[in-house]
Structures are given as C-alpha cells and as structure tokens.
Chains A and B, each alone.
Chain A
Amino acid sequence: MVSDPAAESGESGESRRARQAGGRPRQRIANRLHAGVLALVLLSTAAAQAAEIKVAVSANFAAPLRKIGVDFEKESGHRIVASVGSTGMFYAQIKAGAPFDALLAADDETPARLEKEGAGVAGSRFTYAIGKLVLWSRTPGFVDDRGEVLRTKAFSHLALADPRLAPYGAASLQVLKALGLLETLQPRFVTAANNTQAYQFVASGNAELGFLALSQVYQDGRITEGSGWIVPQEFYSPLRQDAVLLARARGKPAAEALLKYLRGDKARAIIRSYGYGL
C-alpha cells in the first residue's frame, strides 16, 4: 500500500474527508481559527472539499507560511498542518514515505531531484521565494550600507552557515570572494550548522556580525533591529527556494490550491514583507 502512492492518496482522500467532517476535535482546536470561522467553514458548502494539507516547510520559511496560512485557511476552508525542518531531512523522510502533500524547500535542487525520482509531481515545481543575503549585526550602526565594515579589523568573529550544508553559506563565500576578502577573513569565520544557528551566534553577541538570511531579521519591509547590509544580488547566484507537489497529493485539490495560492498576489506580498525577492 505504501509503495503505491497513487493508491494510497486515493484512499486516504476519502478517509481524510471523513475525519475532517467527524472526528479530531483536538486538532481542530489546535488550529488558530476562531470558533466562528470554524463554524462557518463547517457549515459552508465547501465543507465537503475541506481538507488537511500536510506541508513540509523549510525552517527559514516557517514564519511567512504561518502568516500566509491564516488567510489561506480562512478563504479556502482547508487546513495547513506544517512540519518544520531542514530540506535534507525532508528529502530522506519523503523517500521513506512521509505523508507530506507538498514541500517548500530551501533550495531548488531538492524539489528537482524529487520530481526526477518520481516522488514529486512532474510540472508542479515553481520558485515561491528567492532568498536574500544580509550582513547583520545586533549593534545599531555597526554594519554600514555598503559592507565596508568587512574591510576593518573591528570584529573578531564573522558568523556564516556551513557552505557545504546551507545555500546561504555558499552564497556568503561567493560574496567574500567577489569582494576579495575570502583569504583575509577566513581565520575569523565561525561556521554554524544552519541559518538559525548563525542567527543565534550573532543575536547573542558572540559573533559581532554574520551573513544571514534577510528573512531572519526582516519584517514589514525593514530590518527589525541592529544594523545590516542587504547584499546586492550581483555578488552571489540567486537563492531560489522551490516548492513541489508530492506524489501522494497528486489529484488532491486542496494541496494544489495551496501551491496556487502561494503564487497569488496576497501571498507574494507577505513573502516580500519577510525579505524575500520574487
């Protein structure tokens, strides 16, 4: 049964609807919907098609998805069940039969690979966000708006995500290479396992500054605190984050609706407000 995703999704579509209509009160409460909205959803004619969408979302996109989800759930009556994790881990889990309907990856390679291997629905792939790199410090005024601080000796630690593991780390190296600073600064690197850890290095003050995803320090169209230099795109290749519909969600309208919604204006506005390009 598990080895035949089409058969499984066909069957679970039925049972899922049954569950949504009847049971699982706790999970419904777990949703952030207001009781009134919930009642509305249950009473609406769309209730028959209301479904639960299991989304595997890359850690850096967890916050925007939460916000997008609120509107989407209100409008569609579907429910997003988001699992947060790293893209590499999701790849292993999807190959092991994880019950995800869609993957919002942190790169463009993993969705392509999944599609090629048949775990992703052919032609469903698209870029939902383009990551931007920022050089950030928690000290206001420390980072100037041209990145000149990198040429000074005013810091002893520069944080960045591991270039071998994280696309943002690789992009950071490209930037330093373009600036001709790679060799000079390499001794001052502190390498984090992922973007979150890089943020923690800098936000805790242990590293004076670091290369982060802009989305980590950006909200409502501006950098929330400290000081930062949004690195111009010409210094590094674009950090495309692709989404893909997974095989088990083939022919599942709810999942397709979410991916479509992500491409809509409303969602794009939210995505941009978190510091992603599109």
Chain B
Amino acid sequence: MSPADLAAVWLTLKLAATTTTVLLLVGTPIAWWLARTRHWAKEALATLVTLPLVLPPTVLGFYLLVLLGPDGPLGRLLQASGLPSLPFTFAGLVVASVIYSMPFVVQPLQQAFEAIGEHPLEAAATLRAGPWDSFFAVVVPLAWPGFMTAAVLGFAHTVGEFGVVLMIGGNIPGETQVLSMIIYNHVEALDHDAAHRLAGGMLAFAFIALLLLNLFRPGRRR
C-alpha cells in the first residue's frame, strides 16, 4: 500500500469513527422521541430521517453541496456566524456522512427502544429513578444490542459511502480522500491491482468486524 493509500485508510477510519459517534449522540434522542411520542410530527420526522435511503448518493451530495456552498442558505448562515465553510473539509464529510447514514442508526435504535416499551420505565420511575437516570440505568443496557447494531451499521455504511462524500469532499488526497475514493482513483487510472488490494482489504476488514459482532452479540444462542 502506498502512503496515499494509508492516508486514505486512516482518514476513512477517522471519518467513520467520528460519524458513528456523532450519529449515536444525535440519533439516540431522535430515535427515543420517535419510539415514544404520539405527536403528529412523528411520521414526518421518521420519513425525513429515511429520505437519504431514497435519494441517490450523488444527488444527496449535490444538494448538500449547493445548500452548504457559499451561495446556499446554510452556507451563508455559517459564513454570517463566522463559522468555517463546510464543503471540501473533514467537517463537511462528517456532516454529510451523518445525514447519509442517519437511517442506519436511528432505525435500529428506534426498534430497540420500542421493544423495551413502557413497563421497565414505569418500574424504574416507581423505584425513584428520574428520566435521565432511567435512560442510562435501564434503557441503555436493555437496548444494548440495538446500540451495537446501530454503531456497526453506521460505521460500515460510512466506510462504504462514495457518492455523497465524493461530491461534498472533492476527493482531495490527505484531506477528504477516503478509501472508496482512492479505489475509484485507482480504477480510473487503470491501476487495477491497487484497487483490488484495497477493495479486498476493505471486504476482509468488514467481514471480520461483522463476524466478531455476531459472535459476541449478547443473548446469542448456540
């Protein structure tokens, strides 16, 4: 592997780890709300979260690019508030990946929360646990498999994404060039050997990670 390849691998892992962390922090309250509310806006939000599944990645990337660009409404807002612009930066990759992988994190969490239901929470409340306390002492342990699934799917989906990050990141080596892009570069440069090596490594990594997850999944029956 060339140093550029290594840099892309490192950047990909960094991106996937950051994105997964942000997604768990952002996705958990969203999933919690979706799992428990009877608010009229529930279906609207659930649909919104699912939309990235429907939109082709490059299309989503294009809209994000326009939205966050210097003439886009969000881009202007960022500029006006003195924040750095997002496209073609690592932060931009994180924002795009968070949006793109959101359904893969929110859905397993929502399902896990729904499966828990009211009963353990009511029991916890009668045992003096406040809402936050209950969440960490009861919900998190009970929804643990859901959190694991959400984290793995979020991570894997971020590692595997291409269209969105290519568009918003600009495929800049060392800055925004992730693994999927450098594989694409190798293919375009007719360097198929390098492409195969990286793609093969990526597959092996994913296989081992998912295998380990399945082997150590709590409650797994032999």
Contact = CB atoms under 8 A, between A and B. Distances in A.
Contacts of A184: none
Among B58, B70, B87, B170, the one with the most A-chain Cβ atoms within 10 Å of its Cβ is B170
B188 to A, nearest CB: 4
A116 interface: no
A66 interface: yes
A32 B2 contact: yes
Contacts of B208: none
Contacts of B72: 96
A250 to B, nearest CB: 17
A2 B170 contact: no
A30 B7 contact: yes
B59 to A, nearest CB: 11
Interface stretch (B61-69, B100-108, B116-124): B61-69
A27 B3 CA distance: 8
A93 B170 contact: yes
A166 B88 CA distance: 25
Contacts, number: 92
B70 A92 contact: no
Interface in B67-96: 68-72, 75, 79, 85, 87-88
A100 interface: yes
A81 B185 contact: no
A98 B170 contact: yes
B29 interface: no
Given A1-B79, A81-B172, A96-B70, 10 more contacts: A2-B85, A30-B4, A32-B4, A62-B185, A89-B166, A92-B62, A93-B88, A93-B167, A96-B68, A97-B87
Interface of B: 2-4, 6-7, 58, 62, 65-66, 68-72, 75, 79, 85, 87-88, 166-167, 170-174, 177, 181, 184-185, 187-191
Q: Which 9 A-B pairs give the minimum distances between C-beta atoms? A: A96-B69, A83-B171, A59-B188, A63-B189, A62-B189, A30-B3, A27-B174, A62-B188, A30-B4
